Amino acid sequence: MHRGDDVGNEVLRRWESVLTALETDPMSLVNQLDWVAKYTVVNGMRERNGLSWTDSKLALMDLQYHDVRPAKSLFARLNLERLTSEDSVIEAISEPPADTRAYFRGKCLQKWGTSIAAANWDSLVFDLGTDPLRRVPMMEPLRGTAAHVDSLFEGCASPAALLERLGS
């Protein structure tokens, strides 16, 4: 069995477990699902203080829950299950995964971000300073991996050279 099979099986096992819990007792997922954890924290404050759902204190709490500064974030104080390490998260900020089309998109953004007019799940749109904009479709999730495109990037000093190699 490949590592990918193990990951796929674990994803399916977790998915089934979460769906079952959502049908029977959604609040049992308080340590697994963000929205359940958030609801529990905000509703606890609401009940303890006799607040209505429209109270501005709850609106502030809603913002504080997702504050990206760990010292200010309510989320960061909770004991939610993590599926990745902090190091993996930090690496993913600047390095795309090598085994999906996100690699191609991420490397293009690293190399030529100022020449990219738009990026989404399934395409990149380049602005080379001439009309028209140039769209590169990426419809296949498993194409655009490091194995597929690293050699494509070699010798491409500009997005125009990349587009020429791609034949678009």
Whether 84 is covered by a domain: the verdict is no
The answer to whether residues 121 and 96 touch, using CB atoms and an 8 Å cutoff, is: no
Domain membership of residue 49 (yes or no) is yes
Residue-wise pLDDT tens digits, 50-83: 999 999 999 999 999 998 888 999 998 998 998 8
Whole-number average pLDDT of the chain: 92
Residue 31: inside a domain: yes
Please tell me whether residues 71 and 106 are part of one structural domain: no
Give domain status of residue 87, yes or no.
no
| Strand pairing class (123-126; 116-120) | antiparallel
First to last CA, the chain: 39
Do 70 and 96 share a domain, yes or no? no
What's the pTM?
0.63
Question: 150 and 116 share a domain?
Answer: yes
Q: What is the pLDDT of residues 119-138, one digit of tens each?
A: 999 999 999 988 899 999 99
Report d(CA 158, CA 40) in Å as an integer: 50
Q: Are residues 104 and 60 in the same domain?
A: no
Per the structure, the count of domains in the chain is 2
Q: Is residue 50 domain-resident?
A: yes
Query: Would 85 be classed as within a structural domain?
Result: no
User: What would the pLDDT profile of 91-128 be if each residue is shown by its tens digit?
Assistant: 988 899 999 999 999 999 999 999 999 999 999 999 99
d(CA 36, CA 34): 5
Range of the domain at 55: 3-77
Residue 97: partners with Cβ closer than 8 Å, 6 or more residues away:
103
23 in a domain, yes or no?
yes
Q: Which of 18, 45, 77 is the last residue of a domain?
A: 77
